[in-house]
């Protein structure tokens, strides 16, 4: 994979160079010391992946991510010294299309291979994502079991998702009746911070989904681990490591498929901005079971990958601009 580094700290750049050296297949193609330089370098030579710092002179990582995704889109991972302390800025960058976040590998502390492992694991996953390799075919959903007559909105999102979710949730009234369950591609160490942030910016009650609970009206539940979230036959939510070969963790497809299989009340599946194909097959299964399905349109998507894949297989009954999705949900669930 051809990789670029955007960071103004020589020690951080060296730590990233050493981490990448553990995987000979990775090629460092350029280094930029600030966001403005990165935008220019990316226009001249767009890499497969950019390792983007958050705080730099001239132009920070959030604005650089926004400009690169608008002009020369490619995969971007935020690499920062303390991601936990900068969680809101991380989600801003993800709202503009960054795929993931990881802490800068420690330099000269402990085993260098162990320090590099989290970064290399993220890069491997993104390599699979942007290559869309070895995507397995999914079996048809089993007959739905009658477990609930309540209403559910199942939402999946990835790159650009935090900003899209903010817009969507803000547009829904606080007394919106259906339960809402979100599956966003985000590492479990940032999930709690994302739930808190979404709650603060949207005005809704947002928290992590708990093992064994049921989706409930008035609460937005967010998948909160690196395991997959799925609905069980008894109507409760559960986290599961299976399927282990699923590169998206948590997987939108896995959750949508479980809704298609076990939810018998009213439901709507919504697939928002994101890179790759996750969610498309699951959304199609929901449509085949008679549920309303919506995909975000190209114009309003930060990354038109997942919604495009859904449109290509006729999984979405409605292709809507982001600001039209909430009004459509209100129409669907208004008696």
Domain architecture of the chain: domains with CATH: 2-131 (3.40.50.2300), 152-333 (3.40.50.180)
- What band does 170 get if pLDDT is binned at 50, 70 and 90? very high
Q: In this model, does residue 119 exceed pLDDT 70?
A: yes
Tokens of residue 318, six digits: 């409605």
- What band does 142 get if pLDDT is binned at 50, 70 and 90? very low
Worst-scoring range by mean pLDDT, 31-35, 140-144, 282-286?
140-144
CA 35 to chain centre: 23
Give the pLDDT confidence score for residue 5 in this predicted structure: 96
β-pair type (228-231, 237-240)? antiparallel
Tokens of residue 193, six digits: 């911070």
Active-site residue list = 158, 185, 278
- What band does 144 get if pLDDT is binned at 50, 70 and 90? very low
Worst-scoring range by mean pLDDT, 162-166, 247-251, 306-310, 326-330?
247-251
Percent of the chain's residues with pLDDT above 90? 66
Contact 286, 267 (CB under 8 A): yes
- Start-to-end CA span in the chain (Å): 52
Give the pLDDT confidence score for residue 131 in this predicted structure: 67
Over range 126-141, report the average pLDDT.
54
Percent of the chain's residues with pLDDT above 70? 92
DSSP label of 325? H
Contact 286, 129 (CB under 8 A): no
CA distance 242 to 227: 8
Give the pLDDT confidence score for residue 269 in this predicted structure: 97
Residue with tokens 């947002």: 206
Give the pLDDT confidence score for residue 245 in this predicted structure: 82
pTM for the structure as a whole: 0.77
Which stretches of the chain are DSSP H helices? 10-21, 35-44, 61-71, 87-95, 112-131, 161-170, 188-202, 252-262, 280-288, 306-312, 322-333
Report helix, strand and coil shares of the chain as percent, to nearest 5.
Answer: 40, 20, 40
Over range 45-59, report the average pLDDT.
93
Q: In this model, does residue 285 exceed pLDDT 60?
A: yes
Give the pLDDT confidence score for residue 220 in this predicted structure: 96
Q: How far is CA 74 from CA 78, 126, 313, in A?
A: 13, 11, 24
Q: How far is CA 171 from CA 15, 204, 334, in A?
A: 43, 11, 15
Give the pLDDT confidence score for residue 139 in this predicted structure: 40
CA distance 99 to 102: 11
Q: In this model, does residue 168 exceed pLDDT 90?
A: yes
3-state secondary structure of 121: helix
Give the pLDDT confidence score for residue 84 in this predicted structure: 66
What is the overall mean pLDDT for the chain? Answer: 89
Cis amide leading into 194 (omega within 30):
no
Per the model's pLDDT, the better-predicted residue between 102 and 238 turns out to be 238
Over range 267-280, report the average pLDDT.
94
Over range 144-160, report the average pLDDT.
75
CA 330 to chain centre: 24
């Amino acid at each position: 994979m051809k990789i670029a580094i955007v960071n103004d700290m020589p020690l951080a750049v060296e730590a990233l160079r050493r981490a990448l050296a553990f995987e000979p297949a990775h090629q460092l193609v350029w280094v930029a010391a600030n966001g403005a330089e990165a935008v220019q370098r990316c226009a001249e030579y767009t890499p497969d992946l950019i390792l983007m710092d958050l705080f730099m002179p001239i132009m920070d990582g959030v604005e650089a991510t926004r400009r690169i995704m608008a002009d020369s889109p490619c995969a971007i991972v935020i690499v920062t010294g303390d991601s936990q302390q900068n969680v809101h800025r991380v989600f801003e960058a993800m709202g503009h299309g960054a795929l993931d976040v990881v802490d800068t590998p420690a330099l000269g502390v402990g085993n260098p291979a162990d320090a590099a492992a989290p970064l290399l694991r993220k890069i491997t996953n993104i390599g699979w994502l942007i290559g869309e390799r070895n995507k397995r075919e999914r079996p048809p959903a089993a007959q739905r079991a009658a477990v609930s007559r309540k209403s559910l909105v199942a939402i999946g999102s990835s790159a650009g998702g935090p900003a899209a979710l903010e817009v969507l949730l803000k547009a829904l009234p606080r007394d919106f009746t259906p339960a809402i369950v979100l599956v966003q591609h985000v590492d479990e160490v940032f999930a709690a911070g994302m739930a808190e942030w979404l709650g603060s910016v949207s005005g809704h009650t947002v928290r992590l989904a708990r093992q064994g609970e049921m989706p409930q009206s008035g609460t937005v539940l967010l998948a909160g681990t690196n395991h997959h979230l799925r609905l069980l036959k008894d109507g409760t939510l559960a986290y599961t490591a299976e399927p282990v070969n699923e590169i998206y963790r948590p997987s939108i497809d896995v959750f949508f498929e479980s809704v298609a299989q076990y939810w018998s009340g009213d439901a709507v599946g919504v697939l928002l901005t994101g890179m790759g194909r996750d969610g498309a097959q699951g959304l199609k299964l929901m449509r085949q079971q008679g549920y309303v399905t919506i995909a975000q349109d190209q114009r309003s998507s930060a990354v038109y990958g997942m919604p495009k894949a859904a449109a290509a297989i006729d999984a979405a009954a409605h292709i809507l601009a982001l600001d039209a999705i909430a009004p459509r949900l209100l129409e669907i669930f208004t008696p």
